[in-house]
Structure 1
Amino acid sequence: MADAKIDSSDETSLAADAALLKAVVREAGELARAMFGTDLRKWTKNASSPVSEADMAVNALLERTLRSATPDYGWLSEESADDPARLARSRVWIVDPIDGTRSYLGGRNDWCVSVALVENGAPVLAAVHVPMSEEFFFAARGRGTTLNDAPVHAAAGHDIDFSRVAGPKPLVERLAPGSARIELHPRIGSLALRLCRVAHGALDAAFAGGQSRDWDLAAAHLIVQEAGGKMSALSGEAIVYNRPDVAHGVLVAAGRDRHADIVSHYRRLPQS
């Protein structure tokens, strides 16, 4: 968490992991960019999710590099077969090699490489690289969030009647019915990137619909948190990673004070 302290015994290993993470995510982003717009083999998994040879190539690069350097850590990736051995590991890499594959294959720029290191269910390191806009978000537990090496912060504020919000329209419409101020942001193809937009104040709040997975969330979660924001279930319940079931319900991210107001607002609404 933003105010958590890193134990001195962990500091050296986490510093090495941070350097490793930054380097490999940049390399993975460059590989994805090199393959972007080329004639790629692509197919569908789980009935509706697109995947391409670019997803697999980036995943292979990340897995080869991270697992060889940290053989005692677990591994959870959207594009790797799940290995239950991860559940017994205190530290686990959680990876989405290309978050926003539909955008990637459609020639749009709103996709990213997203990787987090989770320790005992909570992210402690995170990197989200947006190659087409040359944005690199990085966060370490207790050390803040940077965008291209400059510190960033979530937008301050207490109210729920604000202008810049992204997420499923029916959910946003329940936030402040009839408000003339709320402006639904155009859809961002990558959920991780949508959430990261809160971390540097480009959005006041962002929502995730149900059925997001650990790999969509873990890196962005720490990036928002370390930027002075908060991300949780819409009920306010904390998000826990590296469980047997990696699916999550409806989530919200915003600056800390606004997040509290949003959660309070939805708790008061009649349950549909």
Structure 2
Amino acid sequence: MNINQSEKLAEILKLARSVGWGAADILSSYYHGGDKEDQLDVNEDKKDGPVTTADLEANHYILNKLQAELGTEEFGYLSEETFDVKKAEPVANDWVWIIDPLDGTRDFIDKTGEYCLHIALAYQGRPVIAIVAIPEAGKLYYASKGNGTFVETRDGQITPIKVSDRSTPEELYLIVSRSHRDERFQKLIDALPLKGKKYMGSVGGKISTILEQESDVYISLSGKSAAKDWDFAAPELILTEAGGKFTYETGEPVFYNQGDVKKWGCLIATNGHCHELLCEKAAAILKQIDSE
């Protein structure tokens, strides 16, 4: 498939939206199934965090639907639940689906409602189609390269969506997790000259608050571990197509399916209006922190 086949890409986006809603329904059915342990079937042994039956069922559904329609010859598949992180080998296709069937597993288990799912299609390492569905909000955000970002509700209503126009650091709100902050990260966000902090679980959930103009800045800083391709590929595109920016603090873009799926370093997502300034400030603050 050619990257310039806009009609074909529009068909694939329509398929991805349908698959996103179907997977959202699976997650929601488990989420509302009650508090019985066997309904969640939590496996705490996974090194990178717990896995639930909902993870696996949603993953199975997404892969089956996409592969049934698109096959496996032209399209590769990089999913959190099936990718071998230890091998760290890129999927050998130009077109690769990058899938997180349940982003925010801890939020799912703890019943905060702040979980979501990510489906992205990347071409040569950069996302061109993205779905972020938030089941408990009844919303599905979607984007395709060059065509903007939209939010779809369960009743089928579709609305274009844009980031805020707040344009100085002192006006901006940072979106962070309620926990998961090591000392280095805490020092960084405390030193940034932002207006305030807001809280949300899951990466997709955090980026959705920037789209909804509730916040403006999200930062990922690796420590002992790092976020992975499937955490960022879909959220990046829905943000950038809504007018935001998403880069390393150096200003470099993020490439996916490079072998090592772990995204080490500092990545910054903003509403775009003073992105470069915030990157410079973050880099300077980290340099100071690391020299102490």
Structure 1 residue 235: Cα displacement? 2.1
Matches within 5 A, 1:42-191: 42-47=42-47, 49-71=49-71, 72-82=74-84, 87-148=91-152, 149-167=158-176, 168=181, 169-176=186-193, 182-186=195-199, 188-191=200-203
Tell me the equivalent position of 1:3.
Answer: none
Query: d(CA) in 1 for partners of 2:110 and 2:129?
Result: 30
The aligned length equals: 261
1:192 maps to what in 2?
204
Q: What TM-score does the superposition give when structure 1 sets the normalisation length?
A: 0.90
Structure 1 position 199, deviation (Å): 2.4
Give TM-score scaled by structure 2 length. Answer: 0.84
The amino acid that maps onto 1:154 is: V
CA contact (8 A) 1:159 1:258 kept: yes
* C-alpha distance in structure 2 between counterparts of 1:233 and 1:85, whole Å: 22
Q: Give 1:218's aligned amino acid.
A: A
CA distance in 1, matches of 2:109, 2:117: 14
Rounded Cα–Cα distance in structure 2 between residues aligned with 1:8 and 1:124:
9
Question: In the alignment, is the contact (CA less than 8 A) between 2:173 and 2:198 conserved in 1?
Answer: yes
Contact 1:74–1:86 (CA under 8 A) maintained in structure 2? no
Aligned residue among 214, 224, 227 for 1:202: 214
Deviates more, 1:40-49 or 1:199-208: 40-49
Gaps of 5+ in 1: 1-6
**Alignment-mate amino acid for residue 13 of structure 1:** K
Alpha-carbon separation, structure 2, partners of 1:242 and 1:207:
21
Among 244, 252, 256, which residue is 2:268 paired with? 252
Report the 3-state secondary structure (helix = DSSP H, G, I; strand = E; otherwise coil) of the residue aligned with 1:194.
Answer: helix
Separation (CA, whole Å) in 2 of partners of 1:142 and 1:160: 27
Unaligned runs of 5+ in 2: 34-38, 153-157
Question: Which among 209, 213, 220 is matched to residue 228 of structure 2?
Answer: 213
**Deviation at residue 109 of structure 1 after TM alignment:** 0.6
Check conservation: 2:80, 2:99, Cα contact below 8 A: yes
Provide the rounded CA distance (Å) in 2 between the counterparts of 1:45 and 1:63.
24
Conservation of the 8 A alpha-carbon contact between 2:132 and 2:142: yes
Separation (CA, whole Å) in 2 of partners of 1:111 and 1:219 = 14
**For 1:93 and 1:243, how far apart are their aligned partners in 2?**
13
Structure 1 runs, 4 residues or longer, greater than 4 Å off: 83-86
1:116 and 1:123 in contact (8 A); partners too: yes
SS of the equivalent of 2:233 reads helix
Pairwise CA RMSD of aligned residues?
1.9
What SS class does the counterpart of residue 95 from structure 1 fall into?
A: strand
Q: Residue 36 of structure 2 aligns with which residue? A: none
AA aligned opposite 1:33 = S
CA–CA distance in 2 between the matches of 1:184 and 1:128? 23
Hey, what's the Cα distance between the residues in 1 that align with 2:172 and 2:271? 14
